[in-house]
Structure 1
Amino acid sequence: MDAHTSLRNALKLGGSLLVTYVIGFGLQVLVPRVLGPDSFGQYNWANGTSAAFFILSALGLDVYIRKEVAVRREHASEFLGGTLLLQVVLAVGLMGAMLAMMRHEGTPPEVRALALALGLYQFFFRLNAILAAVLHAHEKVDGLSVAHVLMKCIWGFGLGLALLLRAPLPWLAAPFIGAEVFKTVFLFHLTRKYAGLQLRLDLRSTGAVLLGALPFFLNEAALATNGRVDVFLLGVIANTTEVGYYGAVWGIAGLTMMLSPILGWVLLPMMSRAAASSQEEFTRILRRGLEGIVSVSVPVTLALALGAETWVHLLIGEAYLPAAPVLRLLAPIFVLTYVATVCGSWLMAANRAWTVTRTSLLAAGLNLGLNLVLIPPFLAWRGLTGGASATATSLAICEVVVTLILVSAIGSRAWDARALAVLGKTAGVCAAVTLAHLLLGRLGLDASTLLRGLTRMVVDGLLYVSLILLTGAVRKDEVLGLVRQVRNRRKPQAATEPTPTEARAA
């Protein structure tokens, strides 16, 4: 029944995320359109810079909580007060360091102000991730789902108003700060109500937790360099216009990562409990998780890659069409990211967190090195969007390396015959759809106009769905069975006395 509870929690969170992603994605494509490549580049650079600096304030606590508090419910109160105090001290120091760096680099005053304001947002964002992790560990996500929706509404309305009024660049941070402060207050209330969370200063417990969270912290810091530190480097080595192109298509590609928060929130606690009770169930969750994530993420990724010009033209406008090849480079990354996320969660639940951490540190160093090496020659070779292409290429190489290492670390437990069959069939379907897409282009149905491009994508989509069902890569009976299981989850079991776990799930 734990798996059923986790599934229901995933659906609840997924429902709230769907609403928030509609709002977020709408603004993600509106902001580049309104600001244009140059101003959007400054906005995106400030956002990436503040996030890069505040990597150090995460401390790895949200992952630690999902793993440990999931099996020790009262543990969070022992250390949260001390870690919160440490985060406040770190935030002050990081803001000062960021200001000194920007003054040294000669950053324009309005960009400096925006970056500092977004630094304040980062503090509350990291705090909210910790509070949310406490609720995930206690499997109390109903109020959290409401918080996601309300926060995104505040953020969306405020940012839309700022764009409508053509507010100065620093004011674009105000909706982010307001939404996160609201969420902080709301989550503190929920954690006290449902998790009995108390803030008290216990230096010994705080120190022990920081040591225990060290591998998670290093792993998160390494992962955060991908898409954060590389944006900072791209702006310094190239220019903020390149950052604008890269950030705009990254926003489109980010649509494929809609399930990523659910994986982090639900999968690790569920795997941790399975690892403590049943190794067979532990392995089954891994295999079916990998199978499912490939089935869901591949078609979206394929659609982005094949229709890059169409999506850029439709969503963010003709001004960003030079960045369509960058979107094509980014699209396959997310399938790899999902596989790596599932494998990383399994390794952490299996008390092999340092394997994940070492891999992430390797990737972070490789990503920084590749950006430093590739950006200058790519700029000379491709000119406009050359720097953005170099950053996307660096990230793609790193994701391939990470995925190969993590899958190898798990070994044969990662895939069974069924999962390998699904993987092979899905790859074959993708090859067939890609070939058909290219043939349609030769027949004159290319992406030279928006209408032709959309028509081509519809044909690709129909062909993919038909082939995926015909080959059995996705089993229709299992999908329908899952829907029935969720729909009937509240019906009482006949002739059985429910266990405490079943009673809670009901």
Structure 2
Amino acid sequence: MDAHTTLRNAVKLGGSLLVTYVIGFGLQMLVPRMLGVESFGKYNWASNTSTAFFILSALGLDVYIRKEVAVRREHASEFFAGTLLLQGVLAVVLLGAMYAVMRLDGQPSEVLSLVLLLGVYQFLFRLNAILAAVLHAHEKVDGLSVAHILMKCIWGFGLALALWLGAPLPWLAAPFILAELFKAGLLFHLTRRHAGLRMNLDVRATGTALLAALPFFINDAVIATNGRVDSMLLGFIGNTTETGYYGAVWGIAGLTMLLSPILSWVLLPMMSRAASSPEESTRILRRGLEGIFSLSVPVTLALALGAETWVHLLIGKDYLPAAPVLRLLAPVFVLTYVATVCASWLMAANRTWTVTRTSIMSAALNLVLNLVLIRAFLAWRGPTGGASATATSLAICETLVTLILVYAIGSRAWDSRSLAVLGKTLGTCAAVTAVHLLLGRFGLDSRDLTRGLARMGVDGIVYLSLILLTGAVRTDEVLGLVRQVRNRRKPQSSSSEPPPSSEARAA
């Protein structure tokens, strides 16, 4: 696969994700408003609890497939049926475990039912992630992009209808299950058609694949705990109001993670293929880090500086006490992007256990910090204190992970150009922050929605002006990239052969 095909696939996936994010974001802002802090806290806690339990069913197969099936196209058929059977057994065990824990904790029946139904959704969601990984590895993403959009439409319409009808909490899980069932049926068809996926039960091949996927499983499971296990602990140690505040602003902060799935789907297979060429691998790493930093920093800065404005605008005045939590969460996502790129490079270089050990350390530290800080912050800050403690714990852990992974790569992670971009971007951020604080002294208070939006508008103009003046973003390269994606490879005019089909070009 060449760079043109990689870029086209990234654009296709990005386009479908943009559509699904618009739908998802709209509902993510609507749900807190319509449920209120207390009911949304129950909903958010149930969602994160089911996710935390079903992390164990992921098995690391989606990451393993993107790395190995990208270079061994028939490999998925050797283990898929066996792992699917194992995942089904695990789902039954995990549903039973969740039921027992919820009963012992004395959770009300509506929360118990919601957790179990969301557990069913989690099983289907993880199955679809594996099927999608097979298509990513085979570079067949057209149908997958359509599946993303259709699934999100089913989910979005169903959830909006349930909210409008005032349905009980357990009914909010129904749209998720229906959407994933539809997507599973479509992806089974696509993987059989485009990837030749077969249901061959081979116990030995299944065991070999699971063992090889173990470091990916551990790393993926630990990463998936971010915002999930800590939110579950927040509900147990604190209360559902705290999880409501935390979940609502987490939804806003999650805006910055639009590119995260594309990085996982495209970058690891691309780096795996380039692993045999140290120069190419290093080039992809450096330019990837440079690009992701340039894209994520302005969004993160806007969230941090305008926390009160965004909370007021997107989820309402009732959640304004949680604005400081959003400010704490905002920098986490830049760090997550950098860590994702570094982890992909290390995995492609067969240094998966370096990533896995770092993730285990982070998960253990995050658990300890939450257990120590939640009660202390609740006593210190009162309402939203527990949410602030959870956000602080996550920020500390993500900082350490990023530093460790960058250190593990060493000087290959940067060159003079990327260091210059880093310095210019950070200098621009400092200048914009100074302007933002100065505007506050002149009466543009972020707690007033109109003035807050005006303040953010000025911040945006200053950032864009400085970033272009300093050359932190190279407009010639951005325009060149757009032209490359738009002008797909064209057949020679002198050739008598018909132009290749879209499937042939994607191969």
Asked if these proteins are the same fold (TM beyond 0.5), I'd say: yes
Equivalent in the alignment of 2:269 = 269
- Rounded to whole Å, the distance in 2 between the matches of 1:244 and 1:502 is 45
Q: 1:116 to 1:475 in 2, by over 3 A?
A: same
Matched, 1:18 2:6: no
Equivalent in the alignment of 1:120 = 120
Moved more, 292-301 or 484-493: 484-493
Q: What displacement does 1:2 show? A: 1.8
Calculate the aligned-residue CA RMSD, in Å: 1.7
What's the secondary structure of 1:107's corresponding residue?
Answer: coil
Task: Check whether the contact 2:147–2:186 (CA below 8 A) recurs between aligned residues.
Answer: yes
Equivalent in the alignment of 1:147 = 147
Q: What displacement does 1:441 show? A: 0.4
Task: Check whether the contact 2:374–2:390 (CA below 8 A) recurs between aligned residues.
Answer: yes
- Rounded to whole Å, the distance in 2 between the matches of 1:282 and 1:25 is 35
Task: Check whether the contact 2:140–2:503 (CA below 8 A) recurs between aligned residues.
Answer: no
- Rounded to whole Å, the distance in 2 between the matches of 1:21 and 1:113 is 27
- Rounded to whole Å, the distance in 2 between the matches of 1:4 and 1:78 is 30
Q: 1:380 to 1:58 in 2, by over 3 A?
A: same
Equivalent in the alignment of 1:306 = 305
Query: Counterpart of 2:432 in structure 1: which amino acid?
Result: V
Q: What displacement does 1:493 show? A: 5.5
- Rounded to whole Å, the distance in 1 between the matches of 2:474 and 2:216 is 36
Q: 1:502 to 1:244 in 2, by over 3 A?
A: closer
Q: 1:75 to 1:497 in 2, by over 3 A?
A: farther
- Rounded to whole Å, the distance in 2 between the matches of 1:266 and 1:433 is 33
Equivalent in the alignment of 2:488 = 489
Q: 1:493 to 1:390 in 2, by over 3 A?
A: farther
What's the secondary structure of 2:275's corresponding residue?
Answer: helix
Equivalent in the alignment of 1:108 = 108
Identity of paired residues, percent?
80
Matches of residues 195-234 of structure 1 in structure 2 within 5 Å?
Answer: 195-234=195-234
Query: Counterpart of 2:106 in structure 1: which amino acid?
Result: G
- Rounded to whole Å, the distance in 1 between the matches of 2:149 and 2:62 is 21
- Rounded to whole Å, the distance in 2 between the matches of 1:25 and 1:355 is 34
Query: Counterpart of 1:10 in structure 2: which amino acid?
Result: A
Matched, 1:242 2:228: no
Query: Counterpart of 1:342 in structure 2: which amino acid?
Result: V
Matches of residues 466-477 of structure 1 in structure 2 within 5 Å?
Answer: 466-477=465-476
Q: What displacement does 1:7 show? A: 1.0
Q: What displacement does 1:310 show? A: 0.2
Task: Check whether the contact 2:246–2:387 (CA below 8 A) recurs between aligned residues.
Answer: yes
Equivalent in the alignment of 2:257 = 257
- Rounded to whole Å, the distance in 2 between the matches of 1:485 and 1:213 is 35
Query: Counterpart of 2:164 in structure 1: which amino acid?
Result: L
Q: TM-score, normalised by structure 2?
A: 0.98
- Rounded to whole Å, the distance in 2 between the matches of 1:55 and 1:348 is 20
1:320-363 deviation line (CA, Å, top 9, x unaligned)? 00000000000000000000000000000000000000000000
Equivalent in the alignment of 1:369 = 368
Q: TM-score, normalised by structure 1?
A: 0.98
Task: Check whether the contact 1:2–1:501 (CA below 8 A) recurs between aligned residues.
Answer: no
1:399-456 deviation line (CA, Å, top 9, x unaligned)? 0000000000000000011111001000000000000000000111121310000000
Task: Check whether the contact 1:333–1:396 (CA below 8 A) recurs between aligned residues.
Answer: yes
Matched, 1:421 2:420: yes
Q: Following superposition, which runs of at least 4 residues in structure 1 exceed 2 angstroms of deviation?
A: 490-506
1:184-240 deviation line (CA, Å, top 9, x unaligned)? 000000000000000111000000000000000000111112111101100000001
Equivalent in the alignment of 1:75 = 75
Equivalent in the alignment of 1:378 = 377
What's the secondary structure of 2:73's corresponding residue?
Answer: coil
Task: Check whether the contact 2:293–2:338 (CA below 8 A) recurs between aligned residues.
Answer: yes
- Rounded to whole Å, the distance in 2 between the matches of 1:501 and 1:491 is 12
Q: What displacement does 1:490 show? A: 3.3
1:272-312 deviation line (CA, Å, top 9, x unaligned)? 01113x22111110000000000000000000000000000
Q: 1:497 to 1:237 in 2, by over 3 A?
A: farther
Task: Check whether the contact 2:140–2:506 (CA below 8 A) recurs between aligned residues.
Answer: no
Q: 1:451 to 1:502 in 2, by over 3 A?
A: same
Q: What displacement does 1:480 show? A: 1.2
The answer for unaligned runs of 5 or more in structure 1 is: none
Matched, 1:359 2:383: no
Task: Check whether the contact 1:110–1:170 (CA below 8 A) recurs between aligned residues.
Answer: yes
Equivalent in the alignment of 1:31 = 31
The answer for unaligned runs of 5 or more in structure 2 is: none
Task: Check whether the contact 1:271–1:346 (CA below 8 A) recurs between aligned residues.
Answer: yes
Task: Check whether the contact 1:99–1:116 (CA below 8 A) recurs between aligned residues.
Answer: yes
Equivalent in the alignment of 2:448 = 449
